[in-house]
Structure 1
């Protein structure tokens, strides 16, 4: 039995670190969401609110008239394009859950502290930025081509955010494996 643990120690370590960090970060994020339930300044929570505002700024930069309002019956921000209520930005749109998934994976392939820290930081900024652009383009796409709203929301735009994360993971594994090779040759 001990030989099996030694043989698969890398896999066991990966799974333990991934699940442990994912669980811990998810618990912390859930605590944040519970704390945010009674907050009124940044409705429905700070991150969802700021993502709504920043996505609206992108759409306004592209020439659209945007208005944001708190949703009356849901924990969401209503987005009006050219005076028409079009979409809701909910907690699941703020990219935090995707960022938690990204960070957990990178921690599972931990390399040098500095390289890992800066890659995680750069990855978070990149995912967050892609998400803002994704929300803005999705909203504009639904406004301009409402007949394709289901395909855009359910297929194309999840593919963008998750595809970004997968590409970042692949790049990290390639970089990480090169770091490991370089360290073993020294």
Structure 2
């Protein structure tokens, strides 16, 4: 048994670190979400919504984003038409937790690891805001394509970025990089 433990030690350390970080960050996020009323929107989702509003305004889009009076989401109106909702799941925190957990599991030097995590979290956040703004415009123009746009294309973009960042990290900066 000891022979197998030694043989698979790097894998077991990776799995243990990944799951410990993932579970830890997820629990912290859950406690954060539990601090909000069920009809209120959490602060991170509110900031994302305001940044989407700012980005659409930067391009002179006729858009309005406001908190739903009865529900825990922001309504996005584009050209005076209700286009989409920004709910807690749209803030990309779960994707960010997944990203950070993986980088920590394949950590390298402390300064490099923390720098890459900050860079990756920022990039995920910015791409997510752009993603929601583009989704707003595309759903207004092509509402019949909601499934492909919201369910396939845009998750592919955000998860594709995370996967690309992981590959870059493992090959360039992790302790396993050649």
Give how far 1:148 is off: 1.5
Conservation of the 8 A alpha-carbon contact between 2:112 and 2:173: no
- Maintained 8 Å contact 1:22/1:104: yes
Cα distance between partner residues in 2 of 1:143 and 1:70: 19
Aligned pair partner of 2:101 in 101, 104, 112: 104
Gaps of 5+ in 1: none
Other structure's SS at 1:64 match: coil
Residues 63 and 144 of structure 1: CA distance in aligned 2, closer, same or farther (over 3 Å): farther
Structure 2 residue 132 is matched with structure 1 residue 149: no
Partner of 2:16: 16
Q: Could you tell me which residue of structure 2 aligns to residue 26 of structure 1? A: 26
Partner of 2:51: 54
Aligned to 2:37: 37
Q: TM-score, normalised by structure 2?
A: 0.94
Aligned counterparts of 2:70 and 2:157: Cα–Cα separation in 1: 29
Query: Which has the larger displacement, 21-30 or 50-59?
Result: 50-59
SS in 1 for 2:35: helix
Q: Deviations over 1:37-57 (max 9, x none)?
A: 27x9xx401110110110111
For residues 1-186 of structure 1, the aligned pairs below 5 Å read: 1-37=1-37, 43-176=40-173, 180=176
Kindly tell me the number of residue pairs found equivalent between the two proteins: 178
Deviation at 1:82, TM superposition (A): 1.6
- Residue by residue over 1:108-144, the C-alpha shift from the partner in whole angstroms, topping out at 9 and shown as x without a partner, is 0010000000000000000000000000001110012
Q: What root-mean-square deviation, in Å, do the aligned CA atoms of Structure 1 and Structure 2 show?
A: 1.6
Taking a change above 3 Å as real, the CA distance of residues 163 and 181 of structure 1, as seen in their structure-2 partners, is closer
User: Equivalent residue of 1:75, what SS?
Assistant: coil
Post-superposition CA distance 1:85-126 (Å, at most 9, x none) = 110000000011100000000000010000000000000000
Q: TM-score, normalised by structure 1?
A: 0.91
Say if 1:181 and 1:30 are closer, same or farther in 2 by CA, change over 3 A: closer
Cα deviation, residue 181, structure 1 = 6.0
Return the offset for 1:176: 2.9
